[in-house]
Amino acid sequence: MPLTAGHCGQIRSIVFDLDGTLYVSEGVGSEIEQAACSLISKGRGISHDEGCGLLRHARKQLSAMYGPAPSLSRTCIELGIELREFHDALQQQVHPERHLFPDPLLQALLVSLRERCRLYLYTNNNYFLSWKILTLLGVESFFDKLYPIEFCWRPKPDAEALQLVLADIGGPPESFLFVGDREHIDLLPPAELGIATLLVREIADMQQIHQVLDQAL
Binding residues vs Mg ion (CB under 5 A): 17, 19-20, 181
| Residue 156 DSSP code | S
State the nearest-atom distance from the C-beta of 22 to Mg ion, in Å: 9
State the nearest-atom distance from the C-beta of 76 to Mg ion, in Å: 16
Q: 62 or 69: whose CB is closer to Mg ion?
A: 69
Q: 95 or 201: whose CB is closer to Mg ion?
A: 201
State the nearest-atom distance from the C-beta of 130 to Mg ion, in Å: 12
| Residue 31 DSSP code | H
The answer to whether residues 76 and 44 touch, using CB atoms and an 8 Å cutoff, is no
Q: 17 or 158: whose CB is closer to Mg ion?
A: 17
State the nearest-atom distance from the C-beta of 41 to Mg ion, in Å: 25
Residue whose Cβ sits closest to Mg ion:
20
Q: 19 or 158: whose CB is closer to Mg ion?
A: 19
> What are the backbone angles phi and psi of residue 197, rounded to the nearest 5°?
-135, 155
Q: Which residues make Cβ contacts (< 8 Å) with residue 143, sequence separation at least 6?
A: 119, 120, 121, 134
Burial class (CB in 10 A: 0-12, 13-18, 19+), 115: exposed
State the nearest-atom distance from the C-beta of 123 to Mg ion, in Å: 7
Crossing angle of the two packed helices 26-44 and 83-93, in degrees rounded to 10: 130
Give, in order, the Cα–Cα distances in Å from 72 to each of 56, 89, 111, 157, 217: 10, 13, 31, 12, 37
State the nearest-atom distance from the C-beta of 10 to Mg ion, in Å: 26
Q: 73 or 175: whose CB is closer to Mg ion?
A: 73
Give, in order, the Cα–Cα distances in Å from 165 to each of 20, 123, 145, 170, 212: 20, 11, 10, 8, 22
Q: 41 or 96: whose CB is closer to Mg ion?
A: 96
Nearest to 70 by CA among 83, 79, 61: 61
